[in-house]
Amino acid sequence: MSLPTLRIRRSRINLGGAVFGRVTRATVCLASLAAASLLSLTPLAAWGAAAPATIDPEASCTTGGCHADTKAKPKLHGPVAGDACQGCHEPKGKEHNFAKISDIPALCTKCHDKVDGAANVHPPAQGDCLVCHDPHGSKVAGMLKADDQKALCFSCHEDAILKGEYQHGPAAVGACSVCHNPHSSAQEKLLRSPGNELCATCHADLVKDMTSGANVHEPVRKGCVSCHNPHSGPKPKMLPGSTQELCAKCHEKQVKAAKESAVPHGPAAEDGGCTKCHTPHGSNNRPLLKAAQTDLCVGCHDKPLEAGKTKLTNMKQLLADNKEWHGPIRDGGCTGCHEAHGGANFRLLKQPYPATFYSAYQPDNYALCFTCHEPMMAKEEFTKTLTGFRDGDRNMHFLHVNKADRGRTCRACHEVHASTHPRHIRESVPYGNWSLPINFAITEQGGSCQPGCHAAKTYDRSKKN
């Protein structure tokens, strides 16, 4: 049986999926066919299609039948999309033979900006652009070689940076180039802007605290990454540990007081407690308080609170109802008397202060009061200068306080936060289950009282003893 031949004039052949380029008066010998009837069933590729010898000026690389799949990707390199293959591939005359591409960066920078001169250059951008980019097309923008940006970056970089439970948004979705320039940058780590400026491009809500507050947290000045991991972390906000653990790196004394004191301040001892009172970025209040100190304190002490077996006073209501405020409160400083984090004395007081109505007089028992008030006021039996509470020159503070066993403590007569009377004199004082009245009245030269503990008494500073 003689083998069939085909004579073709200026036409293309597509046999079973194998494509031949244009030929002129070519003769194709189908040497392996047993019968002409099998011609339409056998792919031409079974015999291997040879590249054309010359370039057909009427066809392009993608339409000439050889490289059609080059344009199959959704994201195409400009020259490929425009069938301008010879912009990158240089033919040798009219032959289907092209010069070898050896200097990739130089070829790419004919169209794309050079990265020379930047302080920090991504190594692939210095040597071979094709480490990251497909020169023809890709599934993703930028003709990246991976299915997404994250997969490409982690082909070189350790993916351990995303092992934390809480992830930074751009890192979580693989948008590495939101923060990093993939080619070059003046910043370390190829960041697009200096550290805090970069964070502020998204976290605009924090910029005011970080820039306009009178008091800025020192780590913020050094950089957001002083506290936050930019990729992921084990705690919310990409923190490396609990709030107390992180704060303790700089504020060890305060965190230790909150956790280990005999009398801890409830909010400070709780997880995340530091940020219940302090802003971690910046504030107009010292020390980075979220509000003025008195306002901050009454923000919680605006109702009776449980403290062991007793209830703490609704301080907001007390201050609203009593306009004669104790000096530290009037000056906006509850911490004049109280520890903010934790302490050794009841009610978080900074120094000892008698918790009872009666107490033997010892100067140390009144250490808190004597941080501001003259201690000799309770020691001198007679005086004309140490106190205004005197009958002539007889010191009435000495009379009440300086007793060996049943001295009246300061709380017997004074409300230490606020009162309706000057000098914070109480209306009444708790005495067991009874609210003991004081019935204090002030006069130009002294005053009087008629408490439940004795008959009416008067004192007069002008009296001659």
**So what's the pLDDT on residue 258?**
92
User: What three-state secondary structure class fits 355?
Assistant: coil
Pairing of strands 26-29, 120-121: unpaired
CA distance 216 to 228: 16
Q: Which of 340, 345, 332, 315 is nearest to 415 (CA)?
A: 315
Q: Phi, psi at residue 95, to the nearest 5°?
A: -75, 150
Contact 346, 365 (CB under 8 A): no
Mean pLDDT on 314-329:
94
Alpha helices for 138-242 (secondary structure H): 149-153, 169-172, 195-200, 204-211, 218-222
CA distance 167 to 230: 8
**So what's the pLDDT on residue 28?**
30
**So what's the pLDDT on residue 24?**
30
> Computed from CA positions of residues 327, 329, 330, 336, in that sequence, does the dihedral angle turn out positive or negative?
positive
pLDDT level of residue 40 (50, 70, 90 thresholds): very low
CA distance 439 to 433: 19
Contact 238, 168 (CB under 8 A): yes
pLDDT tens-digit map of 154-179? 999 999 999 999 999 999 999 999 99
CA distance 64 to 67: 8
Mean pLDDT on 381-392:
95
Percent of the chain with pLDDT over 70: 89
Q: Is the peptide bond before 43 cis (omega within 30 degrees of 0)?
A: no
Q: Residue 179 to residues 125, 189, 344: CA-CA distances in angstroms?
A: 17, 9, 48
The answer to whether residue 104 scores a pLDDT higher than 80 is yes
**So what's the pLDDT on residue 49?**
53
Q: In this structure, which long-range contacts are made by residues 366-372, counting pairs with CB atoms below 8 Å and at least 24 apart in sequence?
A: 366/401, 366/409, 366/410, 368/337, 369/410, 372/327, 372/336
Mean pLDDT on 6-15:
31
Mean pLDDT on 387-402:
94
pLDDT level of residue 64 (50, 70, 90 thresholds): low
DSSP state of 49: P
Q: Tokens 């950089």, residue?
A: 223
The answer to whether residue 205 scores a pLDDT higher than 50 is yes
DSSP state of 393: T
Q: Which of 154, 161, 182 is nearest to 230 (CA)?
A: 161
Pairing of strands 434-437, 441-442: unpaired
Mean pLDDT on 337-347:
94
* SS3 assignment for 39-50: HHHCCHHHHCCC
Q: Which of 1-5, 99-103, 144-148, 340-344 has the lowest mean pLDDT?
A: 1-5
The answer to whether residue 75 scores a pLDDT higher than 50 is yes
The answer to whether residue 31 scores a pLDDT higher than 90 is no
User: What three-state secondary structure class fits 2?
Assistant: coil
Alpha helices for 146-201 (secondary structure H): 149-153, 169-172, 195-200
DSSP secondary structure, 376-388, as one string: GGGT-SB-SSS-S
> Computed from CA positions of residues 12, 15, 16, 21, in that sequence, does the dihedral angle turn out positive or negative?
negative
Q: Which of 46-55, 76-85, 388-397 has the lowest mean pLDDT?
A: 46-55
CA distance 36 to 182: 58
CA dihedral 319, 266, 229, 185 (to 10 degrees): 20
User: What three-state secondary structure class fits 418?
Assistant: strand
Between 140 and 167, name the one with better pLDDT.
167
Average pLDDT value for the chain? 84
pTM over 0.85: no
**So what's the pLDDT on residue 95?**
85
Mean pLDDT on 65-79:
88
Cβ neighbours of 72 (radius 10 Å): 10
CA distance 125 to 114: 9
pLDDT tens-digit map of 219-239? 998 899 999 999 999 999 999
**So what's the pLDDT on residue 22?**
33
Between 17 and 343, name the one with better pLDDT.
343
Indicate the helix (H) or strand (E) that contains 232: strand 232-233
Contact 144, 132 (CB under 8 A): yes
Q: What angle do CA 12, 18, 24 make, to 5 degrees?
A: 25
Contact 334, 265 (CB under 8 A): no
Q: Which of 196, 200, 251, 247 is nearest to 223 (CA)?
A: 196
**So what's the pLDDT on residue 53?**
84
CA distance 96 to 61: 10
Alpha helices for 162-242 (secondary structure H): 169-172, 195-200, 204-211, 218-222
Tokens linked to 20: 């031949």
Q: Which of 103-112, 179-188, 272-281 has the lowest mean pLDDT?
A: 103-112
**So what's the pLDDT on residue 310?**
81
Q: Which of 328, 329, 331, 350 is nearest to 339 (CA)?
A: 350
